[in-house]
Structure 1
Amino acid sequence: MTDYLAVYLRDQLALGVTWRALARRARDNNKGTPLGGALAEVEDGIAEDVRTFEAVMRTLGIRPNPAKVALAAVAERFGRLKRNGRWVTYSPLSRFLELEGLAMGIEGKKILWHTLGDLAGLRDRLPDTDFDELLARAARQRQTLEPFRRAAGTEAFARQAVNLVHRPLTREVAWTPTVRGVRHDHDRETARRPVPHQAPAPGRGE
Structure 2
Amino acid sequence: MYVDDPLAGYLHDHWAGSSFAVELLEKVAAEFTATPSGIVARELLEQVQSDREVLHDLIQKVGKANPDLYDALGWIAERVSRFKLKHNDPSGIGALEAFETIGLGILGKRALWEALKARQTTDIRLGGLDYDALISRADDQFQKANRYRLKLVPSALAMQKSGS
Tell me the TM-score range normalised by the shorter chain.
0.7 to 0.9
8 Å contact from structure 1 (residues 116, 122) kept in 2: no
Give CA deviations for 1:96-127 in whole Å, capped at 9, x if unaligned.
01111111111111111101221x33686233
Shift of 1:16: 1.0
1:73-88 paired onto structure 2 within 5 Å: 73-80=77-84, 84=86, 86=87
Taking a change above 3 Å as real, the CA distance of residues 149 and 122 of structure 1, as seen in their structure-2 partners, is farther
Q: Partners of 1:111 and 1:28 in 2: how far apart?
A: 29
Give CA deviations for 1:140-175 in whole Å, capped at 9, x if unaligned.
112222222012122111336xx9xxxxxxxxxxxx
Q: Partners of 1:123 and 1:48 in 2: how far apart?
A: 26
Partner of 1:167: none
8 Å contact from structure 1 (residues 123, 131) kept in 2: no
Q: Partners of 1:56 and 1:133 in 2: how far apart?
A: 16
- What TM-score do you get using the length of structure 1 for normalisation? 0.66
1:34-183 paired onto structure 2 within 5 Å: 34-63=36-65, 65-80=69-84, 84=86, 86=87, 89-90=88-89, 92-118=92-118, 120-121=119-120, 125=124, 126-159=126-159
Unmatched runs of 5 consecutive residues or more in structure 2:
none
Q: What's the RMSD between the two structures over aligned residues?
A: 2.5
Unmatched runs of 5 consecutive residues or more in structure 1:
164-206
> Rg: which structure is higher?
1
Taking a change above 3 Å as real, the CA distance of residues 19 and 122 of structure 1, as seen in their structure-2 partners, is farther
Q: Partners of 2:57 and 2:31 in 1: how far apart?
A: 30
Number of residue equivalences: 155
Larger RCO (alpha carbons 8 Å, 6+ apart): 2
Q: Partners of 2:60 and 2:122 in 1: how far apart?
A: 16
Taking a change above 3 Å as real, the CA distance of residues 93 and 122 of structure 1, as seen in their structure-2 partners, is farther
Q: Secondary structure at 2:159's aligned position in 1?
A: helix
- What TM-score do you get using the length of structure 2 for normalisation? 0.81
Give CA deviations for 1:80-105 in whole Å, capped at 9, x if unaligned.
3xx74x4xx44711110111111111
Taking a change above 3 Å as real, the CA distance of residues 8 and 20 of structure 1, as seen in their structure-2 partners, is same
Q: Partners of 2:93 and 2:41 in 1: how far apart?
A: 17
8 Å contact from structure 2 (residues 113, 131) kept in 1: yes
8 Å contact from structure 1 (residues 26, 95) kept in 2: yes
Higher helix share: 2
